[in-house]
Amino acid sequence: MTSLVIKGVRPYGEGDPVDIRVEHGVIAEIGAGLSAQETFDARGAVALPGFVDLHTHLREPGREDTETVETGSRAAALGGYTAVFAMANTDPVADNAVVVEHVWRRGREVGLVDVHPIGAVTVGLNGEKLAELGTMAASQAGVRVFSDDGMCVADPLIMRRALEYTKALDAVIAQHAEEPRLTVGAQAHEGETAARLGLAGWPSVAEEAIVARDCLLARHVGARLHVCHVSTAGTVDVLRWAKERGTEVTAEVTPHHLLLDDSRLGGYDPVNKVNPPLRERTDAAALRQALADGVVDCVATDHAPHAAQDKDCEWSAARPGMLGLQTALSVVVRTMVEPGLLDWRGVARVMSERPAEIGGLVEHGRPIAVGEPATLALVDPDATWTVRGADFASIAANTPFEGMELPGQVVATLLRGRFTARDGKVG
């Protein structure tokens, strides 16, 4: 591997521009006027540790018409990500060692981001019988995050047992918090907008009740809990309460819940359909504040590719979910950096350091310092760009941000010293 110097970056957006020399995948020197065989001019860019996504749907196996490990890895690299956790709601479900090892192996073959398969908590995501968590943990994939995402682990006894197992495995359950008895037939956030549009409501309490229950269960068992895609102000209150009492709970918020709300639903465009649903303006504001305060630990995309025929249809027939990997950073800049809620250090924390810690990745979310892996996202803080779903690396194009002009552009991504994306192109 040739030596490389990245010219003129500001680590964490702080101080004067510096050069970073990379040797054998590791940061060898940081200083002024460095040289090497290869140089990359990144003048003006902010250097951050490569982003880590705890919540990506890669759709392989089963729905390779919408995304594959390869196309999702390309989207991730272009979005500044160096590691992603692939959700288990594939077909077949990733509820056994064979499937998680397949996803893990495909990730290695593609080699653009570290792909960590998430294992299902219950067999077939049916919520009834625990999957073989230990076998998945002991597999080559080394699974440390388990989730039935898409479905909630609703049965409290199953959840308790799952927490007991993951405690023993030093793993974590990522819960999709949705009390299914309260969301039967739900189509949109239960509130004024849904009532006016005639859409069956998904009440905030269906999320909050499960988060409260699971915080209590996690504390009772002495296990860690991670809450997926927090969407309501009430959930923030529950998390704050639980954290103040020493519960080992962490939580993520999606870019779309930070920026969007249910006022977008008037046109019945299913691109806005997602689970949990877009909530109210006041919820989005509470989520932004919680992310700034650390009550919500990190950003996770819930990148959910869907085929055109599953989105370009009537609202009730459409599948929930939206793309996120190539827009996450820019939405975080718009919602958190521009209003002064986070500085670039804070972006590093919520996009890289905290998700790496939660997922147990020791090679990601590392400091930008000599001797550390050169696993980086370089961001032009002054650039703006216009979102075009058709241009994304994903096979699907279901972005709710279509046509928006957003700030902050990923100019390069490096994984252990190798470019995985550069000037908008993979590799």
> Which residues bind to ligand DOR, rule: CB under 6 A?
57, 89, 149-150, 176, 274-275, 304, 319-321
Helix boundaries (H) for 17-155: 69-78, 97-110, 133-138
176 is in an annotated binding site: yes
| 89 assigned to a ligand binding site | yes
58 is in an annotated binding site: yes
| Nearest-approach distance from CB 276 to ligand DOR, in angstroms | 7
| Dihedral sign from CA coordinates of 321, 281, 187, 276 | positive
- Cβ partners under 8 Å of residue 303, min gap 6: 53, 55, 56, 57, 72, 75, 322, 323, 324, 325, 394
Pick out residues in 135-174 that bind Zn ion (CB under 5 A).
149
Nearest to 424 by CA among 78, 112, 5: 78
Among Zn ion, ligand DOR, none, what does residue 420 contact (CB within 5–8 Å per kind)?
Answer: none
Helix/strand/coil for 426: strand
Catalytic positions, please?
Answer: 302
59 is in an annotated binding site: yes
Provide the token pair at 320.
């929930």
Report whether 257 belongs to an annotated binding site: no
Q: Which is nearer to Zn ion, 18 or 210 (CB)?
A: 210
How far is the C-alpha of 90 from the C-alpha of 49, rounded, in Å? 29
Given candidates 21, 63, 144, 176, which one binds Zn ion under the rule CB under 5 A? 176
User: Residues 62, 45: contact at Cβ < 8 Å?
Assistant: no
For the chain, the residue count is 427
Task: Kindly tell me which of 275 and 326 has the beta carbon lying closer to Zn ion.
Answer: 275
Residue 87 CB, nearest approach to ligand DOR (Å): 7
Of the pair 50, 321, the CB lying nearest ligand DOR is at: 321
Report the nearest approach of ligand DOR to the CB of residue 319 (Å).
Answer: 6
The residues, ordered by sequence, that sit 6+ positions from 171 with a Cβ below 8 Å of its Cβ are 133, 137, 143, 144, 145, 146, 165, 360
Whose CB is nearest to ligand DOR?
321
Binding residues for substrate: 57-59, 89, 275, 306, 320-321
Binding site members for Zn(2+): 55, 57, 149, 176, 229, 302
Residue ranges in contact with Zn ion by CB under 5 A? 149, 176, 228
